[in-house]
Amino acid sequence: MPTPIKMPALSPTMEEGTLARWLVKEGDQVRAGDIMAEIETDKATMEFEAVDEGTIAKIEVAEGTESVKVGTVIAMLAGEGEEASPRAPAAQEDKGTALTGVVEPIEAGEEAAPARTPTLADPEPVEGPSATAAPGASTGSARADAGSGSRIIASPLAKRIAANKGIDLAGVTGSGPNGRIVKADVASAQPRTAPARPEPVEGPRTTPGLQATPDFGIPYTTEKLGNVRKVIARRLTEAKQTIPHIYLTLDIRLDALLKLRAELNAALEPDGIKLSVNDLLIKALAKALLRVPACNVSFAGEELRRYERADISVAVAAPSGLITPIIVDAGTKGVAQISTEMKALAAKAREGKLQPHEYQGGTASLSNLGMYGIKQFDAVINPPQAMILAVGAGEKRPFVVDDALTVATVMSATGSFDHRAIDGADGAALMQAFKSLVEAPLGLLT
């Protein structure tokens, strides 16, 4: 029998996802390794590969479907020698109703469901007054009474056609066995017209983490949140509510760093490498964390985890929302390697193609809004990390050097620290280490 293909867990924390796009259709042959679908997780859109070869017998979940739980059957795969026919939907569609063992005819375009043999445990059909009614009085009705409830008796194909055409099956006369509504019954039926009803009064809208607020009659449009934005809203709300932030800000001269960057770019130009200021700041934060290991930690309930390498998560603005690809072991990598990796990761982030290991983890984060002219800001910690460094724009400012007033290129940097894991003095030591590496940047080349 066909093998079910289930919604995969594409990351350790994934519980559900959006089936963004099918790249195969029913009847297609697939081999192990073929890309079958694109699935949107809470961080990125990822490709889903086939692990077996066979024929796509049935697509159970349409593309664009949101909140598909991990483990849900999304398609059926027929192997060699198996019939490429989908599994029978009758058990789900008529769930909770008594089966009498009558095999009903299959319409053209419908999938055959295996016949079910009644057992001694099956309830016997109850004959009501309609058994002696005039011809058509019972079999022509699509609604069968069952105790205090009722249900529509219709073939799956008829139900699909009715749903597509907007036909109310309650008003359709069934011509099939036992009053079953079949394809021919709905083919010429008219779509239902919704009765006029007063417009509902819209209540106040809610925003994740905020109390419901009125709109005060101001015109607005709504936009449905994607998976990434939902996760951002949830995690940042949790971070601000549960993590006691402490903020430490200092000013850093950039002149020496900018001079070194220009010299390095001239030397690396034949190799096609161009360093950004951000590449050098990634290296500086990683080395500062290795110099002040008390800040390269995370709070884990009853434990304090001390990390032995500095993996820097770098905030990247993607169309779907903020994401933080990671430069692994940035403290021991050269600035040219960091630059090459960062460009590749940023491109994948903007395309939604990051793999879980490329954005999950990290021991600290760096967020740079200097390119937007932002002078200074406080960033929210990305749990389970215990610190994030926010850097603003380098700008010409009056600055005192050796008791003399001069003009220097100065950048403000603010560290946000989880006060449960990092004391203020340790945070200050990290900020000083970062400042000294930026102002004396030759230390970044070791």
Domain map of the chain by residue range? 1-86, 152-194, 245-445
Highest mean pLDDT among 208-217, 244-253, 354-363: 244-253
Contact call for residues 227 and 41 (beta carbons, < 8 A): yes
Residue-level pLDDT at 154:
79
Q: Report the pLDDT averaged over residues 26-38.
A: 87
Residue 42 vs residue 416, higher pLDDT: 416
Q: Percentage of residues in the chain with pLDDT exceeding 90?
A: 43
Q: Report the pLDDT averaged over residues 122-139.
A: 41
Residue-level pLDDT at 3:
84
Residue-level pLDDT at 285:
98
Residue-level pLDDT at 315:
94
> What does pLDDT average to over the chain?
80
Segment among 126-140, 195-209, 416-430 with least mean pLDDT: 126-140
The three-point CA angle 254-255-260 to 5° equals 100
Instruction: Tell me how far apart the alpha carbons of residues 345 and 48 are, in angstroms, rounded to a whole number.
Output: 20
Note if the bond before 384 is cis, omega within 30 degrees.
yes
Residue 204 vs residue 165, higher pLDDT: 165
| Among candidate residues 127, 162, 107, the one with its CA nearest the CA of residue 170 | 162
Q: Report the pLDDT averaged over residues 198-205.
A: 48
Q: Supply the CATH classification number for the domain 152-194.
A: 4.10.320.10
Residue-level pLDDT at 85:
52
- pLDDT tens-digit series, residues 300-355: 988 999 999 999 999 998 887 888 999 999 999 999 999 999 999 999 988 888 88
Residue-level pLDDT at 156:
72
Question: For residue 42, what pLDDT band results from cuts at 50, 70 and 90?
Answer: low
Would you say residue 89 has pLDDT above 50?
no
**Does the domain formed by 1-86 have CATH 3.30.70.600?**
no
Residue-level pLDDT at 150:
55
Residue-level pLDDT at 127:
42
Contact call for residues 142 and 154 (beta carbons, < 8 A): yes
CA torsion 256→253→340→364, rounded to 10°?
140
Q: Report the pLDDT averaged over residues 419-429.
A: 97
Question: For residue 15, what pLDDT band results from cuts at 50, 70 and 90?
Answer: confident
Question: For residue 96, what pLDDT band results from cuts at 50, 70 and 90?
Answer: very low
Helix axes 277-291, 424-439, angle to 10 degrees: 130
Residue-level pLDDT at 338:
97
Residue-level pLDDT at 83:
63
Residue-level pLDDT at 230:
83
Would you say residue 387 has pLDDT above 90?
yes
Q: Supply the CATH classification number for the domain 245-445.
A: 3.30.559.10
| Among candidate residues 125, 153, 119, 120, the one with its CA nearest the CA of residue 139 | 153
Positions annotated as catalytic residues are 419
Highest mean pLDDT among 141-145, 176-180, 328-332: 328-332
Would you say residue 121 has pLDDT above 50?
no
Highest mean pLDDT among 158-167, 189-198, 277-286: 277-286
Would you say residue 109 has pLDDT above 60?
no
Residue-level pLDDT at 137:
40
Instruction: Tell me how far apart the alpha carbons of residues 26 and 278 are, in angstroms, rounded to a whole number.
Output: 48
Would you say residue 421 has pLDDT above 60?
yes
Residue-level pLDDT at 266:
96
Q: Report the pLDDT averaged over residues 67-82.
A: 84
Q: Percentage of residues in the chain with pLDDT exceeding 70?
A: 77
Q: Report the pLDDT averaged over residues 277-282.
A: 97
**Proportion of the chain in helix, strand, coil states, percent, rounded to 5:** 30, 25, 45
Would you say residue 95 has pLDDT above 50?
no
Residue-level pLDDT at 103:
41
